[in-house]
Structure 1
Amino acid sequence: MIKDLVRGLAALSLTLAPLAAATPAAHAQAAEPTVLPIGAAVSALPLGTESRDGYTRTAFRHWNAGANLGDGCNTRAEVLISEAVTPPTVGARCALTGGTWWSYYDEQTVTSAGSLDIDHMVPLAEAWDSGASAWTAARREAYANDLGQASSLVAVTARTNRSKADQDPAEWLPPAPGALCRYAAEWTATKLRWDLAVDELEKDRLLDIAAGCGGTPVTYTPAP
């Protein structure tokens, strides 16, 4: 009987040991946000040669079911709900009525969700060019539906989003002068979060903008 008890305790200890070992690792994965002045953040961006070979938009599955599975809202709707200045009414199948939004690219107040696009701060094609071509399909889907960092996806007027298309800051910037520092900071934060490279012209333009943005903070958490 004593032998049976000893064997039972040994088995219990083997069962608990992996759980105890896993606990510190699980906590280690919850990375703290990094905050840098914009100039230092831009300087930290890795330089790379961009290539669009093989790109198709369908390589990035979006919009998926979002963070709240089962609520009927996809990623697009969740961004709209999160960024609303005045919250919309959420109806059946996540139909949104009412609400107001601030499109910071052009400093416009918007009163219809249908007039807004959800912009990938770093466009899908630009992400592909900058390193995402080597990712798995699952990681590209996670990127295209990134609700883990507010700067990754932004609700803006359809007009400005479509004007931007897949251009980087060397080719396109928001039309509102007051938007430049925020835009450069959020672009930089997204690239740092996903470990995406920049080309020389892109980095030079970001550094030029950063020079006029004082200590504007860039906050990012590495993507899991």
Structure 2
Amino acid sequence: MSGYTSMSATPPASGIRWTAAVVLSALLALFTPSLPAIATDAPDGTSTTVAGPDAAVEAADLLATLPVKGRAPKTGYERSLFGPTWADVDRNGCDTRNDILRRDLTEVTFTSSVPCTVKTGVLADPYTGTVINFLRGTTTSSAVQIDHVVALSDAWQKGAQQLTIEQRTAFANDPLNLQATDGPTNQQKGDGDAATWLPTAKGYRCGYVARQVSVKARYGLWVTQAEHDAIADILAGCPGEPAPASVTPAAGTTVVYYANCTEVVTAGAAPLYADTPGYRSGLDGDGDGVACEG
């Protein structure tokens, strides 16, 4: 798609490079037994920065710190080992699938006045370079699916068996590891790694493998030799590609929501006019187009 760019973090300042010692120190912190921090999309549509590789770390440098091993057996793998499907890990009242739809889609509408369950939206799919209209429904929702950038089964075979259930649940719901994409494309990928599957949109491949590297470093996972070489080959074509620590919401996804007029007043936003972010008829008792004016 013309003008479509990678969703990676802001490139590092000129001349900034990590030494091997600094990278190793950062990686050691990732192997502590504490639960990895979770990035969330707050109800107002903002994105918080997650713990993980610093924005100044180049993906190629971080790749060099990942262990290279063969796949462990897939024996015992079950989806339930990564926690409930689309849990509300950030306790914002919305499940992870809807959080990611809200982050990655534009022109979002919701099924109710509460900005949680996404009803419609438009996806500029980074994997295919196409634009997809999302409409919630029994036969239509699958047109847009949420991909695990590092597939759950792939993670299971490359170190996730040693993680706790809490850490695996965090992994399965980590926004850095999740991307809304074309449904058939997600199905085609399956549990493929970079050696067996890449986005058809070549302009996004650098950003895609950089996210895989960040995710694997964050959760202490390894790569196979073929996977390592495939990622290295791609990153060689985009020197300086950063290892992202978070994902920027799609343009136009900001949602302002006030539960009541007390919140409006506290935020210093009163009165709310009909064309003002946060206005909704439920706050406008007399229906005059001005809410919380009293």
Q: TM-score, with normalisation over the residues of structure 2?
A: 0.59
Tell me the equivalent position of 1:4.
Answer: none
Once the two structures are superposed, the pairs formed by residues 121-160 of structure 1 within 5 Å of their partners are 121-147=149-175, 151-160=176-185
What is the CA distance between 1:119 and its match in structure 2? Answer: 0.6
Tell me the equivalent position of 2:134.
Answer: 112
Asked if 1:220 corresponds to 2:241, the answer is: no
Tell me the equivalent position of 2:82.
Answer: 60
Q: 1:192 is matched with which residue: 217, 232, 252?
A: 217
Distance 1:92 1:37 in 2: 42
Distance 1:158 1:32 in 2: 29
What is the CA distance between 1:31 and its match in structure 2? Answer: 5.2
What is the CA distance between 1:57 and its match in structure 2? Answer: 1.8
Amino acid at match of 1:219: P
Distance 1:212 1:84 in 2: 29
The structure whose residues are more often helix, as a share, is 1
Count matched residues: 188
Long gaps (5+) in structure 1: 1-28
Q: Could you tell me whether the CA contact under 8 Å between 1:86 and 1:101 is conserved in 2?
A: no
Once the two structures are superposed, the pairs formed by residues 40-55 of structure 1 within 5 Å of their partners are 40-51=61-72, 52-55=74-77
Tell me the equivalent position of 2:8.
Answer: none
| 1:92-137 deviations in Å (ceiling 9; x for gaps) | 7843223211110001112115221111110000110111111222
Distance 1:200 1:131 in 2: 15
Q: Could you tell me whether the CA contact under 8 Å between 1:88 and 1:100 is conserved in 2?
A: no
| 1:36-72 deviations in Å (ceiling 9; x for gaps) | 2232122122212321222122211221124244x3x
Q: 2:207 is matched with which residue: 168, 178, 182?
A: 182
In structure 2, do the counterparts of structure 1 residues 204 and 33 end up closer, same or farther at CA, with 3 Å as the change threshold?
A: closer
CA RMSD of aligned residues (A): 2.1
Identity of aligned residues (%): 32
Amino acid at match of 1:217: P
Asked if 1:84 corresponds to 2:117, the answer is: no
Amino acid at match of 2:105: A
Distance 2:51 2:88 in 1: 24
Distance 1:57 1:142 in 2: 13
Long gaps (5+) in structure 2: 1-36, 38-49, 136-140, 247-294
Distance 2:89 2:51 in 1: 21
Distance 2:52 2:163 in 1: 24
Once the two structures are superposed, the pairs formed by residues 6-25 of structure 1 within 5 Å of their partners are none
Task: Name whichever of 207-216 and 81-90 sits farther off.
Answer: 81-90
